[in-house]
């Protein structure tokens, strides 16, 4: 009975605070404060300060602001323009033509950004006018951007995976490599959908691209060399064991600064803007993590996570049934919270269930990220939808309908992960361990 009372209280306070516009991190702290006052005699202030400091002083967490800063620096370069020039000649002859540049461009930028919003904005600001001028279907332009930009949460360096790893105390490097194959497979599924639509739709009538010789295509590919070099250095240093995730992030920042310098886009103004942008995003995520850590401690005093885990164990759900329940749960939650908030808010309760069911936490991290990717394109809070609305001036309903096929493909990807778990676990299981 105490657990039912605690659940009701926590949910009431949480939704009340969120509904009044309180920041997510502060709302989590508020819920935790109420729980501590009612369910323990410990001094709340001292406990909160100790917990927040412990959650904020993690060495692993230092990778987060560094990767964010790297993405902010690259966002202010000519990266998207160069990627379009380099990719277009090779993709123009595929079924679906240059729409594939949305998907491949997002996949490439996701590997140096880690942020879904940054990926969407960077690729979209170049590809949308180019594809429109070539008469590609508007819904396909918008839908592929909305879906492919979510790869920023999956392909390393992923901010969502860093947050998940810190929350459940798992290796960030292993989580990064667990996301490589699922991210690439999801990108290929998006491309297969574009190709199928191009071959079967009567409305697919883009302007023909001028033919180019192989030598001309190779010449244009030089625009891709800087970003591929940066990806190779950052990801390769982790895979070969030369650097931890945090050290690779520092290498990435230096590489991004060098790239921006050679492109002529690095000046005091862009440097300051990138630093301030990274600071704002990092502070927001750090506040959410601090609130979640305090909430996790508060909930522990109520016995709520263990009680829920025991209750679900008593239901004798199979592994598949548990994952289906969590799939529906995260999809519904994603309609109201962004992906990172969904992860940190729920892990205190979900982690004991997952451990109890014998589910690999590295694999589960990829499962969760695929599901919270959907939150980026589900109304009413889907952040990618708002970004696209600002870029295209379309109604929210139009953008949502355009993104719906991408949502369905992500659902299919969830089942692919469930039935073929090695997609996510093979690479981290065979990962060469770097320095601690």
**pLDDT tens digit sequence for 248-271:** 888 888 988 888 888 887 888 888
Domain membership flag for residue 436: no
> Which of 10-24, 56-70, 234-248 holds the top average pLDDT?
234-248
C-alpha angle 122-278-377 in degrees, rounded to nearest 5: 50
Domain membership flag for residue 434: no
Contact 259, 77 (CB under 8 A): yes
Asked whether the CA dihedral 405, 122, 332, 162 is positive or negative, the reply is positive
Cα separation, 106 vs 193, in Å, equals 16
Q: Is the pLDDT of residue 95 over 80?
A: yes
Q: For residue 36, what pLDDT is reported? A: 80
Q: For residue 14, what pLDDT is reported? A: 75
Q: For residue 432, what pLDDT is reported? A: 57
Domain membership flag for residue 84: yes
Q: For residue 196, what pLDDT is reported? A: 93
Q: Is the pLDDT of residue 392 over 90?
A: no
Split into its structural domains, the chain has a count of 1
DSSP 337: S
Q: For residue 192, what pLDDT is reported? A: 95
Confidence of residue 30 (pLDDT cuts 50, 70, 90): confident
Q: pLDDT higher for 116 or 200?
A: 200
Average pLDDT over residues 59-84: 77
Q: What is the DSSP string of 195-211?
A: HHHHHH-TT--PPPPPP
Q: Is the pLDDT of residue 436 over 50?
A: no
Average pLDDT over residues 25-33: 82
Q: pLDDT higher for 420 or 13?
A: 420
Domain membership flag for residue 267: yes
Cα separation, 378 vs 229, in Å, equals 34
Domain membership flag for residue 435: no
Q: Is the pLDDT of residue 433 over 60?
A: no
Alpha carbon of 113 to those of 70, 107, 274: distances in Å? 7, 10, 13
Confidence of residue 184 (pLDDT cuts 50, 70, 90): very high
Percent of residues, the chain, with pLDDT higher than 70: 91
User: Who's near 169: CB < 8 A, 6+ residues apart?
Assistant: none
Q: Is the pLDDT of residue 286 over 60?
A: yes
Domain membership flag for residue 247: yes
Contact 74, 63 (CB under 8 A): no
Cα separation, 301 vs 309, in Å, equals 15
Contact 372, 330 (CB under 8 A): yes
The residue range of the domain holding 285 is 2-429
Q: Is the pTM of this model over 0.95?
A: no
Domain membership flag for residue 385: yes
Q: For residue 411, what pLDDT is reported? A: 92
Confidence of residue 305 (pLDDT cuts 50, 70, 90): low
Percent of residues, the chain, with pLDDT higher than 90: 14
Domain membership flag for residue 226: yes
Query: Nearest Cα to 69, choosing from 270, 338, 340?
Result: 270
DSSP 308: H
C-alpha angle 375-176-127 in degrees, rounded to nearest 5: 55
Per residue in 334-390, pLDDT (tens digit) is 776 667 777 877 787 788 888 878 889 999 999 998 988 887 787 766 777 877 887
């Amino acid at each position: 009975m105490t657990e039912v009372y605690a659940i009701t209280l926590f949910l009431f306070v949480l939704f009340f605070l969120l509904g009044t516009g309180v920041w997510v991190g502060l709302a989590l702290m508020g819920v935790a404060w109420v729980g501590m006052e009612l369910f323990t005699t410990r001094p709340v202030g001292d406990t909160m300060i100790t917990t927040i400091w412990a959650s904020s002083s993690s060495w692993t967490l230092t990778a987060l602001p560094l990767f964010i800063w790297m993405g902010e620096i690259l966002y202010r370069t000519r990266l998207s323009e160069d990627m379009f020039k380099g990719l277009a000649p090779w993709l123009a002859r595929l079924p679906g033509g240059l729409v594939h540049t949305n998907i491949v461009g997002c996949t490439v930028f996701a590997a140096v950004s880690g942020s879904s919003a940054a990926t969407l904005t960077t690729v979209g600001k170049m590809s949308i006018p180019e594809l429109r001028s070539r008469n590609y279907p508007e819904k396909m332009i918008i839908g592929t951007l909305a879906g492919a930009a979510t790869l920023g949460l999956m392909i390393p360096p992923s901010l969502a995976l860093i947050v998940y790893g810190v929350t459940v105390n798992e290796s960030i490097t292993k989580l990064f490599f667990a996301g490589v194959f699922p991210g690439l497979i999801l990108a290929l599924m998006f491309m297969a959908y574009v190709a199928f639509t191009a071959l079967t739709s009567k409305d697919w009538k883009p302007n023909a691209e001028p033919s180019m010789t192989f030598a001309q295509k190779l010449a244009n590919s030089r625009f891709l060399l800087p970003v591929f070099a940066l990806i190779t250095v950052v990801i390769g240093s982790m895979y070969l064991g030369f650097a931890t995730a945090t050290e690779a992030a520092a290498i990435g920042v230096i590489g991004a600064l060098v790239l921006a310098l050679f492109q002529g886009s690095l000046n005091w103004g862009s440097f300051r803007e990138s630093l301030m942008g990274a600071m704002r995003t990092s502070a927001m995520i750090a506040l959410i993590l601090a609130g979640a850590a305090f909430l996790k401690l508060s909930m522990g005093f109520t016995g709520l996570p263990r009680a829920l885990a025991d209750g679900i164990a008593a239901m004798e759900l199979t592994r598949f049934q548990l994952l289906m329940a969590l799939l529906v749960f995260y999809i519904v939650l994603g309609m109201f919270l962004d992906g990172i908030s969904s992860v940190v808010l729920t892990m205190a309760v979900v982690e004991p269930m997952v451990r109890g069911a014998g589910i690999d936490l590295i694999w589960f991290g990829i499962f969760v990220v695929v599901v919270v990717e959907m939150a980026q394109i589900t109304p009413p809070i889907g952040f990618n939808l708002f970004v696209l609305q600002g870029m295209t001036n379309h109604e929210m309903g139009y953008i949502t309908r355009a993104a719906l096929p991408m949502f369905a493909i992500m659902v299919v990807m969830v089942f692919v992960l469930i039935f073929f778990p090695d997609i996510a676990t093979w690479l981290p299981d065979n990962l060469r361990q770097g320095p601690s």
